[in-house]
Amino acid sequence: MPHPVMFDESDPLLARVRGLALTFPGAAEKISHGRPFFYTKTAFAVYGGSVKATGAQFPRSLLVKPDTAEHDALLGQRHTFTPAYLGPSGWIGFDLDRADVDWDEVDWDEVAELLDMSFRVTAPARLVRELDGRVG
95 belongs to a structural domain: yes
CATH number for the domain that contains residue 49: 3.90.1150.30
6 belongs to a structural domain: no
69 belongs to a structural domain: yes
- pLDDT tens for residues 6-40? 899 999 999 999 999 999 999 999 999 999 999 99
**Closest C-alpha among 94, 20, 108, 28 to residue 62:** 94
Q: Find the domain containing 18 and state its range.
A: 12-135
Query: Does pLDDT of 1 surpass 90?
Result: no
29 belongs to a structural domain: yes
The pLDDT value given to residue 103: 53
81 belongs to a structural domain: yes
Instruction: Put the strands of the sheet holding 43-50 in their side by side order.
Output: 28-32, 35-39, 43-50, 57-64, 92-95, 80-81
Helix (H) or strand (E) holding 49: strand 43-50
5 belongs to a structural domain: no
- pLDDT tens for residues 65-103? 999 999 999 999 988 999 999 999 999 999 998 755 655
Query: Does pLDDT of 4 surpass 90?
Result: no
Name the domain count of the chain.
1
The pLDDT value given to residue 52: 84
4 belongs to a structural domain: no
Question: Higher model confidence: residue 16 or residue 134?
Answer: 16
pTM score, whole prediction: 0.92
